[in-house]
Amino acid sequence: MTLKSEWEIVGAPVDPDTTERLFFTDAEWDTVEAATARIMPTDQDPGAREARVVVFIDRYLSGIDYVYAAADGSGFLKMSGKYADAWRARMDEMQNVYRHGLVRLDELAHSESGRRFADLSDAEADHLLELLSGAPKPGQVTLGTKEPVTTFLQGSFDEGLDFFSALCLHTRQGFYCDPVYGGNKEQMGWKFIGFPGPKSLKDTMDGTYSTAEYFYQGEFEWEDLIPQLKAYRDAGGTL
């Protein structure tokens, strides 16, 4: 979002280690942290729990104070007027989705095991998320094979999503977001995929950080890059 002079900058980057709850109750916080830890689990690499995805989601759902980071990463843009009204309406809907979804998840946990979701084993939690979503747990995705990838790749817009779909989306966003929003602690998400991101948003504005080195700088022919054009040329067509 373009920083406009009439927009006030408030607050500061979110501390990923904070335990202050702005939207979730203590019980809801524990449930969300446990659920995100199964959506993006910890193995030899950090997962959602270590990256503090729960902090990102809590701030995102808390209202209008943590929506748009300022271009220099120093804080967040303060919304007012119609912008604030529109965002509050959107958040009111998503807050209700989470409130009801978390209740349902713990109801399932008590029904199946007599315990709350946050106290389940990994296998038990996975089973509950399958029941909640109505679909089996996705298998491992291996790129570069001839086998079809059937895992659904979610979009980036959460309006109208059910609780499980929204939670999956927000988990991914919290894991890969700019750290200013509270998730992706110490750039764990970026390091996991080998993305050498900027140390701060400010670095993207003053030229300190650049991705120019990752772009191909050599000479090329367009028909060698586009198979259809190459086939057309090889068949005797002229470009």
pLDDT in tens, 103-152: 999 999 999 999 999 999 999 999 999 999 998 888 776 655 555 555 55
User: Does pTM top 0.85 for this prediction?
Assistant: no
Note the Cα 137 to chain centre separation in Å: 19
pLDDT attached to residue 150: 52
pLDDT attached to residue 226: 78
Q: How far is Cα 203 from Cα 140, in angstroms, rounded to an integer?
A: 36
Mean pLDDT of 75-79: 93
The answer on pLDDT for 4 being more than 60 is: no
The answer on pLDDT for 237 being more than 60 is: yes
Higher pLDDT, 63 or 150: 63
Domain extents for the chain?
A: 9-197
pLDDT attached to residue 148: 53
> Under a CB-based contact definition with an 8 Å cutoff, are residues 164 and 132 in contact?
yes
